[in-house]
Amino acid sequence: MNIVITGGRGQLGRELERVLGDYHKVILLDLPETDVTLPSEIETLVNYYPDLVIHAAALTDVDGCARDPLTAYKSNALGTHNVALACQRANAAMLYVSTNEVFDGTKGSPYFEWDTPHTINPYAESKLAGERYVQMLLNRFYIVRTAWMYANGRNNFITRVIAVAKEKGALAYVDDEIGNPTYAPDLARAIAQLLETKHYGIYHLVGEGIASRYDWAARIVQLAGLNVPITRAKLADFKRASTPPPFGALHNFVAATTLGIKLRSWQDALQEYFNSPISNL
């Protein structure tokens, strides 16, 4: 297949290239050369004759999106509109990478693929608007929602925890924000499997199991071999521009049940991250 990946230099884009590059012709697009918010780029995408476009480009700074919602809508909603139109014109399938934040986090248990989205911050609103464009304009699409993603060699939650631990000698993380830490190489492999199925639809692809920020940070400190105390905090203790869903964990029901596609446990994946020579510690 000819596969175009937007956000090709991002955490997920890089991993997708690694996984798909041996079997497909992969074209990576990213800023500054390709800005998906420009309608003129629709033609650029069409001219690559894609069989499939993986749209991973997004403004992912959730607090930045809260401070500047119109820029968030432009990037994440209108950018996705353009990519979906390009797929329509090129007769290509589309895989749109979306987020657990489309849910408000009040259900109290992991969200299924058919649960009704309800957003509580501008990042989530802009990503959900993107989902709607995809569904409105295309017949052949995958919407893959994921959460709490991290990759090797990047600044991420893990590198931040370690940096703060070393700098301050003590940590505090919330135990009332719940999600699924998801290792980008595992997600890329699951997406590669999904693409072969042509089983279009909405999927939740996340590391197996759930964790609070506190649980995740505590395991990071342990694996990094740091002897630093870590205390429990609450979301209400911190003032942030964006409001995260408190219980934002996803349940991978559809891909696991119908296709046998599952990611390993978040604990095993985290161990693998620390074993990697490029874990950027």
In sequence order, what are the beta bridge partners of 201? 142
Q: For residue 201, count other CB atoms closer than 10 A to its CB.
A: 14
Work out how close the CB of 86 gets to ligand NAP at its nearest, in angstroms, rounded to a whole number.
12
2, 24, 25, 35: which one binds ligand NAP (CB under 6 A)? 35
Listed in sequence order, the residues at least 6 apart from 213 whose beta carbon sits closer than 8 Å to its beta carbon are 173, 174, 175, 177, 179
6 lies in the site for ligand NAP, by CB under 6 A: yes
Which pair of structure tokens corresponds to residue 101? Answer: 């934040």
129 lies in the site for ligand NAP, by CB under 6 A: no
Distance CA 148, CA 146 (A): 7
Q: For residue 262, count other CB atoms closer than 10 A to its CB.
A: 17
Q: Are 281 and 139 in contact (CB under 8 A)?
A: no
Q: At CA 164, angle to CA 239 and CA 178, rounded to 5?
A: 55
| Active-site pick, 73, 111, 123, 150 | 123
- CA distances to 37, 96, 175 from 81, rounded to whole Å, are 9, 11, 36
9 lies in the site for ligand NAP, by CB under 6 A: yes
31 lies in the site for ligand NAP, by CB under 6 A: yes
Work out how close the CB of 227 gets to ligand NAP at its nearest, in angstroms, rounded to a whole number.
28
Binding mask 60-99 for ligand NAP (x = CB under 6 A): x--------------x---x-----------------x-x
DSSP string, 248-264: --B---HIIIII---PP
Residue 123 designated active-site: yes
Q: Residue 30: is it exposed, middle or buried by C-beta count within 10 angstroms (0-12/13-18/19+)?
A: middle
Whose Cβ is closer to ligand NAP: residue 149's or residue 211's? 149
Part of the chain binding ligand NAP (CB under 6 A), chosen from 18-26, 57-65, 163-171, 237-245: 57-65
Binding mask 249-268 for ligand NAP (x = CB under 6 A): --------------------
Q: Is 204 helix (H, G, I), strand (E, B) or coil?
A: strand
179 lies in the site for ligand NAP, by CB under 6 A: no
Part of the chain binding ligand NAP (CB under 6 A), chosen from 5-13, 229-237, 249-257, 271-279: 5-13
Work out how close the CB of 230 gets to ligand NAP at its nearest, in angstroms, rounded to a whole number.
21
110 lies in the site for ligand NAP, by CB under 6 A: no
Q: Which positions lie near ligand NAP, rule CB under 6 A?
A: 6-7, 9-13, 30-31, 34-37, 56-60, 75, 79, 97, 99, 127, 146-149
